[in-house]
Structure 1
Amino acid sequence: MELDKTDFAILRYLQEDGRINNSDLADKIFLSASSCLRRVRALEEAGIIAGYRAVLDGNAVGLEVDAFVQVTMRRDVEQWHENFSKEVQQWPEVVGCFIITGEANYLLRVRARNLKHYSAFIMDRLYKTLGVLDIRSNIVLQMLKDTHVIDSALMKNHD
C-alpha cells in the first residue's frame, strides 16, 4: 500500500489516541467522516495498523521490577531455538522477546512484582530451560523513554 500525507496524519493521530472517534479524526485531517473511515479500514486491512490496545503502567499494577535479560544458548543442544521459542511463549513475566545480534541469542524484557518474583523466574524457569548457557540481567532504574509511536519520518514512503 502506498501511503500519502493523509495516511501518515491518520497514523500519527491514532498512535497518539487510539480511542479518537472517527468524526474527530476526520476533522483533524480535513476529510469527510466516510473518507476517513475508508482510509482507516484500508490501513487496518493492509496490516499497517496491527491493532488497538490499552497501554498499562506496570508500576501502577504492582510490577516493580522491569529488566532486560540477555540469554545465550548452547548450540550443541538439539532444537535449542525451537524449544526456547516455545517456552518463552508460556512465561507471563516475559513481555518482549527478540532475537538479537552479538554475543547473546535473545533479549527478553521481563516484568515482575518484586525482586523475589524476578529471582524465582530467573532461577526456577529461565535457568532450567534446556539449552540455556548464560543469562545477563539489566534491571531498569529509571525509564527515560518508552514508546510504541513510530514517527512518519522513519517510514519508507514518507515524503
Structure 2
Amino acid sequence: MNAISLDATDCRILAVLQNEGRISNLDLADRISLSPSACLRRLRLLEEQGVIERYRACLNREVLGFELEAFVQVSMRNDQQNWHERFAQALRDWPEVVGAYVVTGETHYLLRVLAHNLKHYSDFVLNKLYNAPGVMDIRSNIVLQTLKDDTGVPVDLVARAAGKAGGS
C-alpha cells in the first residue's frame, strides 16, 4: 500500500491531534494558523482518507490497578492444523493481551500483556496461555521501567519525507 501524500499543514494537524485529541476545531485552527472552516475541511478529508482511524483516550494503567506489564514470546507447534488461526482466535478473547504481533525470529508471536499483579499474570499464563491450542514455549519479559511509550506515528518523519519529495 502506498503512503498518502500529506503537506506540512496536514502534518501539523496530525501532530497536534496525536497529543491533544480533544482539542476544539477553533483551537486547532488557531494553533496551525488556518481558518476554522479550512481546518475542519482538512480534518474531515484526513478522516475520509483513513489517515485518522479513530479517536481515543489514553488511560493510566497503574491508576486502574494494572501493576504488571510483560512482553511474552510464544512459540507454536507447527504440526497442528490451523494452529495460527486457532491461536489468533483464542488471544482475541483474552483481555490481558493488549497487543499481539506475528514476528520474525525464534518465536512466532510477541504479546503485550497487562495484569493487576504477579498472581494475575501467573494465572493468565498457566490457565489461558499454556492451554491455548498449539502453544509449545512461552518466554516472558517483565517490564521493570518504561522509557518510552508512544503509540503514535512519527508525523515529523512524514513531513520530512514530503518536503524531500517536493524538493526533488
Q: Deviations over 1:32-65 (max 9, x none)?
A: 1011001111111111111111111111100011
The answer for the alignment partner of 2:84 in structure 1 is: 81
Percentage of identical aligned residues: 55
The amino acid across from 1:88 in the alignment is: L
The answer for the alignment partner of 1:158 in structure 2 is: 162
Unaligned runs of 5+ in 2: 164-168
Cα distance, 1:150 vs structure 2:
1.9
Cα distance, 1:154 vs structure 2:
2.8
The answer for the alignment partner of 1:72 in structure 2 is: 75
Distance in 1 between residues matched to 2:77 and 2:71, nearest whole Å: 20
Please say if 1:91 is aligned against 2:94.
yes
Unaligned runs of 5+ in 1: none
Q: Among 32, 44, 48, which residue is 1:45 paired with?
A: 48
Aligned CA-pair RMSD:
1.1
Please say if 1:58 is aligned against 2:61.
yes
Secondary structure at the aligned position of 2:145 is classed as: coil
Please say if 1:111 is aligned against 2:148.
no
Distance in 2 between residues matched to 1:72 and 1:145, nearest whole Å: 27
Whether the 8 Å CA contact 1:26–1:36 is kept in 2: the answer is yes
Distance in 1 between residues matched to 2:80 and 2:55, nearest whole Å: 39
TM-score, normalisation: structure 2? 0.91
The amino acid across from 1:11 in the alignment is: L
The amino acid across from 2:91 in the alignment is: V
Q: How many residues align?
A: 159
Distance in 2 between residues matched to 1:12 and 1:47, nearest whole Å: 16
Whether the 8 Å CA contact 1:44–1:50 is kept in 2: the answer is yes
Cα distance, 1:69 vs structure 2:
0.1
Which of the pair is proportionally richer in helix? 2
Distance in 1 between residues matched to 2:157 and 2:5, nearest whole Å: 15
Please say if 1:20 is aligned against 2:23.
yes
The amino acid across from 2:129 in the alignment is: L
Whether the 8 Å CA contact 1:71–1:132 is kept in 2: the answer is yes
TM-score, normalisation: structure 1? 0.96
Cα distance, 1:149 vs structure 2:
2.5
Cα distance, 1:151 vs structure 2:
1.9
